[in-house]
C-alpha cells in the first residue's frame, strides 16, 4: 500500500460517535468504552464487546459503526472479509439514510450518515473498489458534515471529519490527479482543514486520538513541522503503550522525507516486535508491519544483509495472517537479494508466481522478474552492488572513506552513471548544494542513465533550488519528476516537495 493511500485510510475512516456520547464517560457509555479499549490496543476485546452490543440492539447506530471501524482494520485483501464488510457497511448507510430522511432533526442519524459515507469513501479508495463511488461518498460526507457543524459548532469532535476532508481533498490531487480532475469533488481548504483538525485534537474528546495521529503525519510529511509530529507521537506512545499503531505511525514519520532518521525508525520497529513477543499471542498485523518496516529502515542504512535476515526470519515463521504477508515478504527478500546481485534472487519471486493463492501478486512478481533480468543484462546490477559499501559509509557520514570507495568503483566503470550519482548525492548531503546540483543536472540529462538515477538527480536539483529560495524553479523540477518518472521512488518526495519547500534535516 502506498503512503498517500495509507494516509487517506487513516484519516478518512475514523469518525466515531454522536455529540451526546461525547459528553459521556466510558463508565456510562459502553460504546465509548469499546472505542477506548480499541485505542489502547485491545482490538480483539473491543470487537467482542461491540459485537455483544450490536446483538443486544441491532438497530442502534453507535455500536454498529464502531464495530465497522474495528472490522475494517482487519480485512486486508481477504475477499471473504471484504464481502462481509461491504454488506455490513452498505446496510448501515441504508439504515442511517432512512432515519435521516424521516426526521430533519435526528442529529445522531446525521452524524453517523456523515461518518458512514466517509468510511465507505476511504474503503473504496484504498481497496480499488471504484473511484467514482469513492468520490460520491466523499462529496456526500462533506455536505452532511457541513450541515452537522452548522447545528453543532460547539462540538469539537465534529471538526475531525470536516477537517479531514478539507485538508486532504486539497493535497490528494498532487498524489492522485484523477481524483479532482475527473470526479469533481467539492473543493476543500488546506489551511482551514488543518485548523479544524487541530481543534479536534485540542478540544475533542473521542476524536483527539485520531486527530493527533493524523496531525503526526501531516506535520511530519506536509507542513515542515516534524518536531511537532514527533511530539504527538511520543505523547501517544506514553499514553497508549499497548497500541502498536502509535509506534508504527511514528516510525513512518521517521523514515519520511521530512525526517529521514532511519536508525530511530528501526528502534521503534524493534520495540513493537519486542512488545509483541512478550504477549501470549502476538498480533499478526503489527508483527508483519514492524518486520517489513524494520527491514526497510535497515536497507535505507545500506545494511542489506541485516534486512534480509529480518525478512528471512519472518518467512521462516510461515505467517498465515494477514493473508498478504507471505507473498509480500518473499518479494521483499527477492528485491534485497537482487540489490546484492545474488544470482538466486529470482527463487522467491518464482515461488510467488507459481502459487495460485497469490494471484493478486503475480503482476508485481512478473514485473520484478523483468526488472532483475534487465539490470543483470545491462550490467547495472553488478555496479550497484559494488557501490553498496560506499553507500553505507556515506550513511554513517564517513565521507572520506565513502569517496574512496566510490572512486574505486568509478575507476573500474568510468562511464557508468551510478558512481557519479552517488558522489553527487554525497556532495549534497555534505552541504555543497550548488556543486551537487551541477553534477546532478548533468546526470538528469544523460539518457544513458537509468530512469531512477535521472529522477533522483532531478530531486537533488529541485531541493537545491528550494534551499536557495528559488521556489518556482523547485516546483517546476518537482513537477517534471512527477510527470516523467511517476513510478520511480523519487516521485513520492517530489510530490511532497510540490506541497512544502524542502528543508535540510
Q: pLDDT digit string (tens) for 316-363?
A: 999 998 889 999 999 999 999 999 999 999 999 999 999 999 999 999
Residue 230 vs residues 188, 210, 295: alpha-carbon distances, Å: 26, 15, 21
Compute the Cα dihedral for 56, 62, 64, 70 and give only its sign. Answer: negative
pLDDT recorded at residue 122: 82
Nearest to 445 by CA among 407, 478, 417: 417
pLDDT of the residue at 240: 92
What is the rounded CA–CA span in Å between residue 421 and residue 440?
Answer: 7
Average pLDDT value for residue range 270-297: 96
Per DSSP, the chain holds a count of helices (H) and strands (E) of: 27, 0
Tell me: pLDDT of 221 over 90: no
Position 133 confidence tier, pLDDT thresholds 50, 70, 90: confident
Confidence (pLDDT) at 20: 33
> pLDDT tens-digit profile of 450-499?
999 999 999 999 999 999 999 999 999 999 999 999 999 999 999 999 99
Q: Determine contact, residues 493/458, Cβ cutoff 8 Å.
A: no
User: Does residue 164 have a pLDDT over 90?
Assistant: no
Q: How confident is the model at residue 178 (pLDDT cuts 50, 70, 90)?
A: low
**DSSP H or E run through 288:** helix 284-300
Task: Please identify which residue in the block is written with the cell numbers 525526517.
Answer: 259
What confidence score (pLDDT) does residue 188 get? 84
* Nearest residue to 467 (alpha-carbon basis) of 418, 417, 414, 429: 429
CB 275 within 8 A of CB 248: no
Q: Please report, rounded to a whole number, the percentage of residues in the chain having pLDDT higher than 70.
A: 92
State pTM to two decimals: 0.85
Most confident segment among 58-72, 74-88, 448-462: 448-462
The DSSP code for 371 is H
pLDDT surpassing 80 at residue 103? yes
Among the residue ranges 12-16, 81-85, 211-215, the one predicted with the least confidence is 12-16
What's the pLDDT score for residue 6? 42
Q: Which grid coordinates are listed for 177?
A: 490527479
Find the mean pLDDT for residues 386-401.
Answer: 96
pLDDT at 200 over 70: yes
Q: Please state, in angstroms and rounded to a whole number, the distance separating the CA atoms of residues 119 and 9.
A: 8
pLDDT tens, position by position, 12-65:
333 333 333 333 445 468 988 998 898 898 888 999 999 999 999 999 999 999
Contacts of 205 (CB under 8 A, 6+ apart): 22, 23, 156, 157
Does residue 164 contact residue 16 with C-beta atoms inside 8 Å? no
Return the CATH number of 3-223, one of 1.10.8, 1.20.1060, 1.25.40, 1.10.3470: 1.25.40
For the purposes of burial, counting CB atoms within 10 Å of the CB of 186, is it exposed (0-12), middle (13-18) or buried (19 or more)?
Answer: middle
Residue 11 pLDDT level (bands cut at 50, 70, 90): very low
Average pLDDT over residues 115-129: 86
Write down the pLDDT at residue 158. 85
Of residues 99 and 207, which shows the higher confidence score?
A: 99
Cis peptide before 348 (omega within 30 of 0): no
The mean of the pLDDT values for the chain is 89
Do the beta carbons of residue 230 and residue 39 sit within 8 Å?
Answer: no
Q: Is the pLDDT of residue 437 over 60?
A: yes
Q: Which CATH superfamily is domain 380-499 in?
A: Tetratricopeptide repeat domain (1.25.40.10)
236 half-sphere exposure, CB direction, 13 A CA radius: 28
pLDDT reading at 90 higher than 80? yes
**CATH 1.25.40.10 residue ranges for the chain:** 380-499
Amino acid at each position: 500500500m502506498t503512503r498517500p493511500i495509507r494516509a487517506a485510510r487513516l484519516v478518512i475512516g475514523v469518525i466515531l460517535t454522536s455529540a451526546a456520547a461525547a459528553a459521556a464517560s466510558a463508565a456510562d457509555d459502553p460504546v465509548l468504552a469499546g472505542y477506548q479499549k480499541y485505542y489502547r490496543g485491545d482490538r480483539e476485546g473491543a470487537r467482542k464487546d461491540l459485537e455483544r452490543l450490536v446483538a443486544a440492539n441491532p438497530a442502534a447506530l453507535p455500536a454498529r459503526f464502531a464495530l465497522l471501524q474495528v472490522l475494517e482494520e482487519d480485512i486486508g485483501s481477504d475477499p471473504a472479509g471484504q464481502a462481509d464488510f461491504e454488506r455490513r457497511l452498505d446496510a448501515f448507510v441504508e439504515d442511517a439514510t432512512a432515519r435521516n430522511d424521516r426526521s430533519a432533526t435526528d442529529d445522531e442519524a446525521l452524524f453517523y450518515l456523515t461518518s458512514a459515507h466517509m468510511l465507505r469513501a476511504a474503503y473504496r479508495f484504498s481497496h480499488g473498489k471504484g473511484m467514482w463511488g469513492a468520490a460520491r461518498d466523499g462529496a456526500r460526507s462533506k455536505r452532511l458534515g457541513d450541515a452537522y457543524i452548522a447545528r453543532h459548532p460547539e462540538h469539537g469532535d465534529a471538526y475531525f471529519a470536516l477537517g479531514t476532508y478539507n485538508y486532504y481533498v486539497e493535497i490528494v490531487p498532487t498524489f492522485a490527479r484523477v481524483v479532482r480532475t475527473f470526479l469533481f469533488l467539492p473543493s476543500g481548504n488546506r489551511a482551514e482543514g488543518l485548523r479544524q483538525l487541530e481543534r479536534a485534537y485540542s478540544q475533542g474528546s473521542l476524536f483527539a486520538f485520531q486527530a493527533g495521529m493524523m496531525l503526526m503525519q501531516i506535520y511530519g510529511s506536509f507542513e515542515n513541522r516534524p518536531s511537532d509530529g514527533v511530539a504527538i507521537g511520543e505523547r501517544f506512545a506514553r499514553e497508549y503503550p499497548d497500541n502498536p499503531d502509535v509506534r508504527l505511525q511514528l516510525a513512518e514519520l521517521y523514515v519520511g522525507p521530512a525526517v529521514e532518521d532511519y536508525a530511530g525508525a528501526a528502534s521503534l520497529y524493534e520495540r513493537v516486535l519486542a512488545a509483541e513477543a512478550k504477549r501470549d499471542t502476538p498480533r499478526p498485523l503489527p508483527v508483519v508491519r514492524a518486520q517489513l518496516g524494520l527491514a526497510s529502515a535497515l536497507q535505507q542504512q545500506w545494511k542489506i544483509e541485516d534486512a534480509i535476515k529480518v525478512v528471512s526470519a519472518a518467512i521462516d515463521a510461515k505467517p498465515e495472517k494477514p493473508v498478504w504477508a507471505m507473498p509480500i515478504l518473499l518479494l521483499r527478500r527477492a528485491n534485497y537479494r537482487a540489490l546484492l546481485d545474488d544470482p538466486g534472487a529470482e527463487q522467491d519471486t518464482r515461488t510467488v508466481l507459481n502459487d495460485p493463492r497469490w494471484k493478486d501478486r503475480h503482476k508485481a512478481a512478473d514485473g520484478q522478474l523483468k526488472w532483475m533480468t534487465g539490470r543483470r543484462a545491462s550490467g547495472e546490477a553488478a555496479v550497484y552492488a559494488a557501490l553498496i559499501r560506499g553507500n553505507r559509509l556515506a550513511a554513517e557520514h564517513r565521507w572520506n572513506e565513502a569517496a574512496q570507495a566510490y572512486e574505486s568503483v568509478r575507476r573500474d566503470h568510468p562511464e557508468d552513471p551510478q558512481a557519479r550519482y552517488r558522489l553527487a548525492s554525497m556532495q549534497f548531503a555534505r552541504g555543497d548544494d550548488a556543486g551537487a546540483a551541477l553534477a546532478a543536472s548533468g546526470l538528469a540529462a544523460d539518457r544513458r542513465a537509468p530512469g531512477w538515477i535521472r529522477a533522483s538527480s532531478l530531486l537533488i536539483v529541485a531541493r537545491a533550488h528550494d534551499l536557495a529560495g528559488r521556489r518556482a524553479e523547485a516546483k517546476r523540477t518537482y513537477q517534471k519528476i512527477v510527470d516523467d518518472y511517476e513510478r520511480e521512488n523519487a516521485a513520492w518526495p517530489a510530490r511532497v516537495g510540490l506541497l512544502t519547500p524542502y528543508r535540510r534535516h
